[in-house]
Amino acid sequence: MSTPPVLNSASASSSGERFLEGKVALVTGASRGIGRAIAERLALRGAKLACVATHAKNCAETVDRCRALGAPAAQALGVDVSSTQAVAELVEQVQKELGEPYVLVNNAGLTRDQLLLRMSEEDFDRVIAVNLKGAWNFTRAAARSLMKGRGRIVNISSVVGLMGNAGQSNYAASKAGLLGLTRSVAKELASRGVCVNAIAPGFIQTDMTAKLGEAAAQELASSIPLKRIGTPEEIALAVDYLVGPGGAYVTGQTLVVDGGLCL
Ligand code: NAP
């Protein structure tokens, strides 16, 4: 396997500016994996971070890292993203304590894999509730703030939402649903200057994929045209593009970041 590029604060400062200085970025699923990498990247850009996971304490380390990377403020928050009321209250708290969100990254997600005939109704409903309704909850709660600031929304979907995957009918449906949500909200909010896009990661090295085991991961990596799995930082860099100056005229799109897996 070839090694991925090394990213650090030096590469960020040489490749760009603190274009989010003092702006509020709300990142769900920020306790680890892709969400943590996104929060850290936005911290380098000068954003004030609202880091959300199921429990605030799960984001404590992310918050410390964001502050160390230069975020002017960073707050850890806990909520079940599937709870419409609790999400509305959390967004109100962020508005009061940090300011009106300019960036919203809907990244929180989970898998409950099972073949169709063995999948329970509960596992189908839970994955849709967290991965799809969770994003809708945050989008609706933050929409007014985002409209005021002509902000950006990035939804973290998956190549599975484009290709489907045996054993993931719930997850694939939730991730395909996110693409419909992305395009619809992009159309609704375009007149208010808000850009709404999705990223479809391929196979990325996180806790979610560690479940597969080393042997299966190696086999999967060999089937990827770029011959390696991706890193959370590589997804964070795609977010960086969409919320930065380069993304100002891009809306309703799905950016596939998968090493060529979908080709
Ligand atoms: P991960 O390591 O499993 O982290 C999941 C994050 O979501 C955690 O911060 C978790 O918080 C949070 N979360 C889960 N359920 C939640 C709920 N009900 N309410 C609030 N927060 C909740 O996942 P990851 O691999 O970084 O994936 C991040 C996103 O990328 C997901 O949407 C995933 O579907 C997508 N994605 C991942 C891959 C991949 O290969 N890894 C590929 C394509 C797409 P706690 O720590 O509190 O549990």
Pocket of ligand 1 contains residue 201 by CB under 6 Å: yes
pLDDT digits (tens, 9 = 90+) for 109-152: 999 999 999 999 999 999 999 999 999 999 999 999 999 999 99
φ, ψ of residue 156 to 5 degrees: the values are: -90, 105
| Residue 8, pLDDT above cutoff 90 | no
The amino acid that residue 76 corresponds to is: A
pTM here?
A: 0.95
Structure tokens at 63: 């918050």
- Cα 240 to averaged position of ligand 1 atoms, centre (Å): 18
Mean pLDDT of the chain: 94
- Tell me how far CA of residue 167 lies from CA of 35, 115, 199, 214, in angstroms: 24, 4, 22, 19
| Residue 3, pLDDT above cutoff 50 | no
The amino acid that residue 141 corresponds to is: A
First to last CA, the chain: 19
Pocket of ligand 1 contains residue 110 by CB under 6 Å: yes
pLDDT digits (tens, 9 = 90+) for 83-106: 999 999 999 999 999 999 999 999
- Tell me how far CA of residue 237 lies from CA of 179, 199, 214, in angstroms: 20, 11, 26
**What span, in angstroms and rounded, lies between the C-alpha atoms of 17 and 213?**
39
- pLDDT score for 2: 42
- Cα 83 to averaged position of ligand 1 atoms, centre (Å): 16
Confidence of residue 175 (pLDDT cuts 50, 70, 90): very high
- pLDDT score for 204: 97
Pocket of ligand 1 contains residue 109 by CB under 6 Å: yes
| Residue 5, pLDDT above cutoff 60 | no
- Cα 208 to averaged position of ligand 1 atoms, centre (Å): 7
Q: Which residue, 253, 236, 255, is CA-closest to 15?
A: 236
Helix, strand or coil, per DSSP, at residue 235: helix
Pocket of ligand 1 contains residue 161 by CB under 6 Å: no
**Alpha-carbon radius of gyration of the chain:** 17
Confidence of residue 15 (pLDDT cuts 50, 70, 90): low
- pLDDT score for 211: 85
Which residues 6+ apart lie within 8 Å of 144 measured at CB?
Answer: none
Which residues are known to be catalytic? Answer: 171
Structure tokens at 25: 């970025």
Atom of ligand 1 at shortest distance to CA of 230? Answer: 40
What residue owns the CA closest to ligand 1's atom 41? 204
Average pLDDT over residues 202-223: 91
**What span, in angstroms and rounded, lies between the C-alpha atoms of 8 and 234?**
12
Pocket test for ligand 1, best of 34, 40, 83 (most atoms within 8 A of CB): 34
- Cα 244 to averaged position of ligand 1 atoms, centre (Å): 23
What residue owns the CA closest to ligand 1's atom 23? 208
Confidence of residue 16 (pLDDT cuts 50, 70, 90): low
Strands (E) in the chain, as ranges, are 24-28, 48-53, 74-78, 101-106, 152-156, 195-201, 254-257
Angle at 183 (CA atoms; ends 59, 25), nearest 5 degrees: 25
Is there a contact between 22 and 101 (Cβ–Cβ < 8 Å)? no
- pLDDT score for 7: 43
Query: Which residues in 24-61 are b (16+ Cβ under 10 Å) and which e?
Result: bbbbbbbbbbbbbbbbbbbbbbbbbbbbbbbebebbee
Query: Which residues in 221-241 are b (16+ Cβ under 10 Å) and which e?
Result: beebeeeebbbbbbbbbbbbb
pLDDT digits (tens, 9 = 90+) for 218-238: 999 999 999 999 999 999 999
